[in-house]
Amino acid sequence: MNASDKSRTVEATVRVLNKNGLHARPSSVLAENALRYTDTAISIRRGDLEVDAKSIMELLLLEAHCGTELQLVASGPRAEEAVGELQALFEREFDIQL
């Protein structure tokens, strides 16, 4: 891994689409997927609040209801891949059938 890989940062705006918002179940799915990127720091911002995407408890602090816009931020060698995968999870409503 070279120095540019370590400092690579990728950002994307996502919207919470599922009607119940980012509650415990989707937060669990999101954190579980983020944890697969051990070499990449991943956070999610809502306004001034930024939380670790690998922590269910921190994700719940976002209080993200349906329609809320969030900013995904990843830094590391797999930042682009991580943001792409997590962005797709938001678009698929975390693969949760209600």
1 pLDDT above the threshold of 50: no
How many CB atoms sit inside 10 A of residue 36's CB? 12
pLDDT digit string (tens) for 76-93? Answer: 999 999 999 999 999 999
- Which residues carry out catalysis? 23
pTM over 0.85: yes
Q: With contact defined as beta carbons under 8 Å apart, do 64 and 71 qualify?
A: no
pLDDT digit string (tens) for 20-29? Answer: 999 999 999 9
Question: Which position has the token pair 């670790």?
Answer: 52
Question: Which position has the token pair 């329609």?
Answer: 67
pLDDT digit string (tens) for 27-41? Answer: 999 999 999 999 999
Residues in CB range of 62: below 8 A, 6 or more apart: 22, 44, 46, 49, 51, 68, 70
Instruction: Return the CATH number of 3-95, one of 3.20.20.70, 2.40.240.20, 3.30.1340.10, 2.60.40.10.
Output: 3.30.1340.10
Region 36-62 average pLDDT: 98
Question: Which position has the token pair 């209080």?
Answer: 63
Alpha helices by DSSP H, listed for the chain, are 3-7, 24-34, 56-60, 79-91
